[in-house]
Amino acid sequence: MPRSWPPPPALSPDLSQQPLAGLPGATLEVAAAVDGVAERAAGLLLQALEAGGPVGLATGRTMQPVYAALRRQVAQWSESRCQRLLSRWCSFNLDEYVGLGAADRGSFAAEMAAALAVPLGLAPGCLQLPDGLAADPDVEARRYGVAVATAGGIALQLLGLGSNGHVGFNEPPCPRQAPSRCLELSPATRHQNAAAFGADPAAVPERAITLGTAEILAAREVLLVVTGGAKAEILRRSLQESPEPGVPASWLQTHPCLRVLVDADAASALRLS
Ligand code: GLP
């Protein structure tokens, strides 16, 4: 059971907590469908953001319903609670493509502006990402890692799961303690993310800046969110086979406070104990 404080919001009736074979320290929460996953993830993120974060945020299709649920939940709040959230907001996104800035539609900066910063009215600088337009991406990656450490490290790290087992843009093979860095994206990842680039993998940037597995594993809590049957097998390999560089997400097994939040389809290959 994660040692989180304050305790997480109570489970809604459509979520069940299940024991994960071979990983007794982790918490597995299964919702019947994506909506239940999104509402739960949004509630956990908001709780951490209200506590002052810093919260680690992720991009990708899995996170779109999560951020939609977050916007819906905040829309129900009183004005004063909203203002308090906005004034305390401190987040660091995992990654960004090299060569893309907020004005580029495929950038994660643009994705986060559309999903959260603009609709919530966040002040510039609250929602931080690596600068994909930095003159020297290696220097920028190091600066970003230092910025996270200077902020006190990540309190709650939200993660999606790449189809090849990447987290952030930590591509396989990846050691357990890889630092924030600039790296080459694999053909599999450029293919996976082509939808945001006119369905053309060749149009996906070749390099990205990502927080490393070192910063991710240093987070006080990790929230891994996975939906859909297409990721069921890579999720099983990530959680229930020995940790190894070929599946970067498998290093999450070594985190002392891991919460895995999935829909029934993504959970379908997992062994429960
Ligand atoms: C992307 C991002 C990850 C994301 C993952 C899954 O490449 N860098 O942070 O979690 O791949 O993406 P999706 O949710 O679209 O399947």
Report the distance separating Cα 216 and Cα 83, nearest Å: 29
User: Which among 140, 144, 47 is positioned nearest to 99, based on CA atoms?
Assistant: 140
Instruction: Catalogue the E-assigned strands of the chain.
Output: 15-18, 27-31, 55-57, 91-93, 95-97, 127-128, 156-159, 181-184, 207-210, 221-226, 258-263
Q: What is the pLDDT of residue 189?
A: 95
Question: Which residue's CA is the nearest one to ligand 1's atom 10?
Answer: 160
User: Which among 63, 59, 24 is positioned nearest to 253, based on CA atoms?
Assistant: 24
pLDDT band at 2 (very low <50, low <70, confident <90, very high): very low
Tokens read off for 88: 């305390």
From the CB of 235, is ligand 1 less than 6 Å away?
no
* Segment 63-67 mean pLDDT: 98
CB 68 within 8 A of CB 30: no
Tokens read off for 113: 């502006």
Task: Indicate which residues carry an active-site annotation.
Answer: 95, 164, 166, 171
Whole-angstrom CA distances from 184 to 144, 168, 269 are: 18, 13, 30
Q: What is the pLDDT of residue 8?
A: 75
Report the distance separating Cα 219 and Cα 154, nearest Å: 5
pLDDT in tens, 174-200: 999 999 999 999 999 999 999 999 999
pLDDT band at 122 (very low <50, low <70, confident <90, very high): very high
pLDDT in tens, 200-236: 999 999 999 999 999 999 999 999 999 999 999 999 9
- Residue 132 pLDDT greater than 70, yes or no: yes
Report the distance separating Cα 9 and Cα 53, nearest Å: 16
From the CB of 169, is ligand 1 less than 6 Å away?
yes
Ligand 1: atom nearest CA of 94 is 9
Ligand 1 pocket test target in 93, 98, 166, 174 with most atoms within 8 Å of CB: 166
- Residue 159 pLDDT greater than 80, yes or no: yes
* Segment 98-121 mean pLDDT: 97
Ligand 1 pocket test target in 62, 67, 159, 204 with most atoms within 8 Å of CB: 62
Its pTM surpasses 0.75: yes
Ligand 1 centroid – CA 107 distance (Å): 13
